[in-house]
A and B are shown apart, each in its own frame.
Chain A
Amino acid sequence: MHPIVKLLVQRIALGLVLLLAVSAVIFLGVEALPGDTAQAILGQSATPQALENLRAQMGLDQPALTRYFNWLGGVMTGDLGKALTNGVDISQAIGQRLGNTLFLAGCAAVIAVPLALILGAVAARYAGRWPDKVISAVTLTTISLPEFVAAYFVIYLLTILFPVFQPVAMVFPGMSFWAKLQAVALPVIVLVMVVLAHMMRMTRAAILNVMQSAYIETAELKGLSPMTIIWKHAFPNAIAPVISVVAINLAYLVVGVVVVEVVFSYNALGQYLVDHVTKRDLPVVQAVGLIFAAVYIGLNIIADVTAIIANPRLRHPK
């Protein structure tokens, strides 16, 4: 078997094992929370009788281990069950919201990734001079702002002071692509602000690292322009660390943007998860947790494999 195929199979198998472990951890974590679903649903109005009825109806009176394996069996067959709180089919509810999450993450990534690479290359080209300092200062400022502060800032700037966009970023099926883009403009701006610096800094550092090499000197002696050297010679050899940082940031855009979703009332997975955590809706929390874990693990596998393919030393091991 080709070593790369073998590696691929290994990584995916490892990912699945990891996913299983994550599912157990999620279950345990939710189990350890105080209160239970019945109590959370009935809230202040809970009477002992109503609590007991509701617990029996939702199967909460069964032992935790039984519930865990019942659920795991369902997931294997693609059945995530029904939300305890409102009886809605979880796979269906998640489907649309996952689409929205990916749409927002995609829009942010399409802007942030190329921008970060270009800015990183420019900063490396002018290392230590004013373009480098300006780029670093601006991106470090935006990453240092907590997301909600950045969000309130752009809301104030772009909806109140200069009413260009809408503060509430909900998207609905049936909206045109253009209308959707307009709706998510503000959260996309905030997310770009948040993820830009990390990727930019890594690109800059990786390129600068390679720039010390002898073959760059050769390229310089050939009389190539600095930008050509960076794109043709330095960047391809600096790509491995950049890919892994990009992957981490993409994963963050999918799983870590709850705060941004809540601030802009964006109807995606994060808000869905938070609502169901408050109500102790175990099946939903587990399902969303698992999806987030899968995205994270998946993106990391892709990053690993791409880094290996991009690196001849790893591609042809001795």
Chain B
Amino acid sequence: MKHLAKVKNKIGQYILVIFVTLTINFALPRLAPGDPLLYFFGETTINELTAEQKQEALHSLGLGGSLWEQYWTYLKGVFTLDFGTSIKYGVAVTEVLAERIPWTLLLVGTALILSLVIGVSAGAYSAWNRGKKRDLTILTGMLTLESIPGFWIGMMFLSIFAVQLGWFPTFGAVSMVQDGTTWGYIKDVVSHAILPVLTITLATVGSNYLLTRSSMLESLGQDYMTVAEAKGIKKRALVFKHALRNALLPIYTHFTLSVGTLLGGAVVIETVYSYPGIGRLLYESVTARDFPMLQGVFLLVTMGVILANLIADLTYPLFDPRVRNRKEEKGEEITHA
């Protein structure tokens, strides 16, 4: 039906986005001023190279030959999952990425769910009590929360709860020293994750709240709410079954999309907590001028966003019967039954 055609159209767009990302990765080191080798090896190494070695390096990096040849070699590399070698770590970019992904997923996944649950409940509550004092109180609080940069919340938490009070570790995802038990390991991981998860939750809960509130207000104003109320159903069913069920549609889309953006957005918070996820890796590659790594992270995060988009598109019909494809035919529409 219509929805399917829309998804097909979108897939075309996603392919285009990946293509654009690849092109950005390809073009930036070549467009940027100075020696492109600089971006791949760093200054110290470059100064030690002879002219011949440089020539060789150019070729091995796919920087020799015409631009089209270079582009072709580059694309071939990407499709065989060869993103090059990390300058900082000296191993394949993909290897470093694989090591970091689980940590980011742990942080972002937990935080997203928390933020969704809190944001949606608060938003629904607020909308139901629109204009009352408690609505305005929550609204002001959430707007303020929305105005606080996530990394600053992180710095404050770190100073207060980790450094001053010593309740939590100050950096990393696991301690250097382990007691060897599984239970001990889990406790260690959790204690490292609590502050970052809390920070990401606080940094994202505002947008979930605001979206829920406005989308609830929208559905509360609909005719079907008047009709449902006139049936005499209870307040709870009115809020949850009728209003929230409809309001959830845009929230669901927003949620799946934020999964993707958060992969990249966690960069500042992971940096604050020195948490070894994808975001921190991006920051490290910047400071270490590890350009192959930087490109790899950028590509990975883009893929994450696109994957999230695709999941949102494909699963949306589960939540909205109007775009669902009905398998069984219900017979022709009988107007004058």
Query: Do A and B come from the same complex?
Result: no
